[in-house]
Structures are given as structure tokens and as C-alpha cells.
Structure 1
Amino acid sequence: MLYFLFILLVLLTNIIQGITGFAGTVLAMPFAILMFGIDTAKPVLTVLTTLACLMVVCRSWRSIAWKEFGRMFVLMFIGVFAGEYLYRQASPDLLLPVYAVFIIAIALRGMFQKEERDLPPACLMLIVLGAGVIHGMFISGGPLLIIYAVKKIPEKEQFRSTLSLIWIALNIYLLAKQASAGLFSAPTLHLAVIGVPALILGVAAGSILAKKMSQEVFLRLTYILLLISGATLLL
């Protein structure tokens, strides 16, 4: 039953990932932590989200906004180092409630903020850096990064492909660190393999839906799901 729920989780969250280019891991992570623990959830979802993003990039690499990719990657890579350090220093009992509150805050902001505010360039840079910190801790920097990305990459296909390439680049580094730390045990790899068919189906379905339905509708759905997942982890 646990494996069935995990497969269903991977399928549904990667439909959203295929549509938006960012939300799959942050939706899946709270439930995966509850199912298997954080030290298993992180490497498994790192593998799966990297594969999901690779599928998106292979289909739409011509749409990548390379200039914005370079800016976001440099700042987020710096933030990832800080996030890894914080993760090693703090206990999960402290980190998980903070993470849950972060998810809920991002969800409420997306649901109730009627229009994007103009932020100073320095503030936007700090937001991207903060996205890197969260990604280094929980592989879930997407909700913060979109605050920057929606302003700089308004075209939907560019948005999806550029963000997907960001996650691939950062996750390759994280995968290497996780492997060197011995997190890829046989059960962990088995769980990742189990999720691959559901991931492929989910991303393919999400890519089709992304062409037929508006980004606004699915972003609203994503924020609702974020609220549910954050509240579940907090409770």
C-alpha cells in the first residue's frame, strides 16, 4: 500500500511538474518525508525530479532563456552551499516545521496576492539566493524562484524549459553530494526505480495539458496543493 501511494504521489506531482516546470518536488516532498523519512525522501526525489526536468528540456530546449538561466544558476548555486550547511547544523525536528510554514506562506501568497509587486533588483537577487538555500536543504527552491522568474520570463514555454534546466544543473551537484554521503542504499535506489514509470507518464501528461490550458489555472491549482501538503506536514 505504501508503494502504491508513493507511485500515485509521483504521478500526480509530475503532472504538475510537467505543466509548471517547478512544483513537483515541493508538492511531493512533505508526503514522501512522512512515508519514508527525510534521508530517503531527499535522494529519491532528487533523482526523480532530475529525470522529470530532463524530459521537459529535451522537448523544449530551444525555448531556454540562457541569459536568465545564467543569472539564476550562479545565485542559486551559492545559496545551495548555505542550505546544505544549515541542513547539517539543525535537527529535523526544527527544520520540518519551518519548511512546512514556508510552503504554507508561499501557497497563501500565490492564492491571495492579486498582482505581482514591483521589487527592487537587489531584493529579487536575494529571493533567488534564498531559493538556492531552500533547494540545498529540501530540493524545493521552486516556490521562491518563481517570484523572480515570472517577472523575468513571462512566456510560458521559456518559463518551463529554463526552470527545468536550473533544476537539472543544481540537482547533478546534489546527487553527487548525496552519493558521496552514502545515501543511495539499495532500498533507496529501488524506490527511485519504482517511481520512474509514473514520472514518465505524469510529465508526458503535464506537457500535453500545458499546451491546452492556461498557466494561471494550473498555478492556482498548484498553490492549493501546496497549502494542503504544507498543512499535512505541519500537523
Structure 2
Amino acid sequence: MLKDVMFLVVVFLTNIIQGITGFAGTVLAMPPGIFLQGIDTAKMVLNILGILASLWIVSVSYKDINWKEVKKILFFMVIGTALGMKIFTLLPLEFLLKIYAILIILMALKGIFIKGEMKTPEWVLVGVILLAGVIHGMFVSGGPLIMIYVAKKLKSKSSFRATLAIVWIVLNTYLAFSHYNQGIFTSENLKLLYLSIPPFALGMIVGNILHHKMSQATFLKLSYILLSISGVALIAK
């Protein structure tokens, strides 16, 4: 019971960040979610909440979507996601979790300490999209990597958030069907999902208000700090 309550607190706090940035909620929630509920439950519940969060963002920011970038991102991320799902079934979970944790920490440190624009060739950016898809297929957490690409292409924070929301709706729906076929939609997991909806909704409301009222840069820095803590916790597990 205590673990369920703690999970609901995690859902509330991380969806505040999701409402602000449009990308960080699931990757922040996944490490503590794995600790508290196990990886299958965490993936299933957080994936569905990710779909709901993205539908919410699209409903309030539809006009800000950059459809050209949506098509490009989806083309490469679908390939990467399918590859990531396959890799997840082939390699040991503990090994994958360590790699995942190291990537989280590296992305967090980059966001905290590396300032300004870096020249990045287009082929490298495409590789970033593919790798983001791989991570998303394994852990429903491709947001921090795809953020590298989107930050280069979209300078408006509202376009940034709305464009990513469409990407997550498509990819997470694909993952949801896969999870259903794997038998992860158990009665216990569905019960936890239903319990998660109120704190999820409250977190999104708060996050959406803060998105419009406060500096995104401040909350991106907060996201990176939380990412680094999550990564360290996974390595120490």
C-alpha cells in the first residue's frame, strides 16, 4: 500500500514537469516507478499516462504543432522504437538498466553544464532521433534524447511541447498495443492506472499553468537535476 501511495506521489510530481516541458515526465517517473512497482507495471501505467498527457497538451496547443517535424521524427523514431522493443527481449534487464541510467546521467549533465548552441551535422541529429526511438522502445523514455533534436529545430517552447505531444501519442499508442499483447494489462496494473489518473490530472493542470507563467529554462534545469538523481539511483540499485 505504501509503495502505491509513493507511486501516486511520483505521478503527481513528474506530471507537473510533463505539463511544463512536454517530455520529461515519463523519464523522471520511470526509475522510481521501477523501484516501487516493477518494470512491467511501471512501463504499462506510465505509458498510458503519457498518452493522456500528450492528448491534454495537444488539446490546448494544437495550433503550435510543427507537422513537418512531426513526420520526420516519427519516421525515424518508429524504426528505433521497434528496434528497442526487440533489444529489450534479447539482453539482460540489469545490463539495460545500467546503460539506461548512464544515458540519463550524461543527458542531465549536458543540460546542466553545457550552455549555448553546438554545431551538429544533420546526420548526427537523425542518429539522435533513432537512438531516442530505441530508448523509447525499451523504457518509454525517449524524451531527453529527442529533446536534443527538437531544441535545435524549434525555438518556441509551445511548439516544442505540442510537436513532441503528437510524437508521444503515436509511439505510446503503438507501445500500448504491444504491452496488451504481452499480457501486461492485468487487473492489478489497471487498478493502479485508475488510481493514478487523479494525481496525473492535478499535476498536468499545475504544469500547464506554470508553462505559461514561468521561465521554461528554470524548469528544464530542474528536470536535468532530477534526471541525474534518478540515474544515480538506478546505478546504485
Pair in the same fold by TM > 0.5 = yes
Corresponding position: 1:178 with 2:179: yes
Q: Give, in whole Å, the separation in 2 of the partners of 1:93 and 1:229.
A: 15
Q: Give, in whole Å, the separation in 2 of the partners of 1:200 and 1:37.
A: 23
Tell me the equivalent position of 1:7.
8
Q: Deviations over 1:68-113 (max 9, x none)?
A: 0110011100100110110010111111111111111110111000
Tell me the equivalent position of 1:117.
118
| 1:11 to partner: Cα distance | 0.4
Tell me the equivalent position of 1:161.
162
Q: Give, in whole Å, the separation in 1 of the partners of 2:179 and 2:97.
A: 19
Q: Give, in whole Å, the separation in 2 of the partners of 1:13 and 1:116.
A: 27
TM-score of the superposed pair, with normalisation by structure 1: 0.99
Letter in 1 for 2:77: M
Q: Give, in whole Å, the separation in 2 of the partners of 1:36 and 1:20.
A: 25
Corresponding position: 1:141 with 2:142: yes
| 1:116 to partner: Cα distance | 2.6
Q: Deviations over 1:200-230 (max 9, x none)?
A: 1101110100101111111000000001111
1:213-232 correspondence runs (5 A): 213-232=214-233
Letter in 1 for 2:215: S
Tell me the equivalent position of 1:81.
82
Tell me the equivalent position of 2:57.
56
Tell me the equivalent position of 1:193.
194
Q: Secondary structure at the match of 1:126?
A: helix
Letter in 1 for 2:139: F
Q: Secondary structure at the match of 1:140?
A: coil
TM-score of the superposed pair, with normalisation by structure 2: 0.98
Q: Give, in whole Å, the separation in 2 of the partners of 1:10 and 1:210.
A: 18
Tell me the equivalent position of 1:42.
43
Q: Give, in whole Å, the separation in 1 of the partners of 2:10 and 2:166.
A: 23
- RMSD between superposed Cα atoms in Å: 0.7
Tell me the equivalent position of 1:90.
91
State, as a whole percentage, how many aligned pairs show the same letter.
48
Letter in 2 for 1:161: A
Q: Give, in whole Å, the separation in 2 of the partners of 1:230 and 1:116.
A: 25
Deviating 4+ runs (over 4 angstroms): none
Q: Give, in whole Å, the separation in 1 of the partners of 2:192 and 2:154.
A: 35
1:100-115 correspondence runs (5 A): 100-115=101-116
Q: Secondary structure at the match of 1:117?
A: coil
Q: Give, in whole Å, the separation in 1 of the partners of 2:215 and 2:129.
A: 25
How many residue pairs were aligned?
235
Letter in 2 for 1:22: F
Q: Secondary structure at the match of 2:107?
A: helix
Q: Secondary structure at the match of 2:201?
A: helix
5+ long unaligned stretches in structure 2: none
Letter in 1 for 2:9: L
Q: Give, in whole Å, the separation in 1 of the partners of 2:80 and 2:42.
A: 21
Q: Give, in whole Å, the separation in 2 of the partners of 1:93 and 1:231.
A: 14
Q: Which moved more, 1:93-102 or 1:127-136?
A: 93-102
| 1:114 to partner: Cα distance | 1.3
Q: Deviations over 1:30-77 (max 9, x none)?
A: 000011111111111111111111111111111100000110011100
Q: Give, in whole Å, the separation in 2 of the partners of 1:209 and 1:93.
A: 36
Q: Give, in whole Å, the separation in 2 of the partners of 1:39 and 1:54.
A: 23
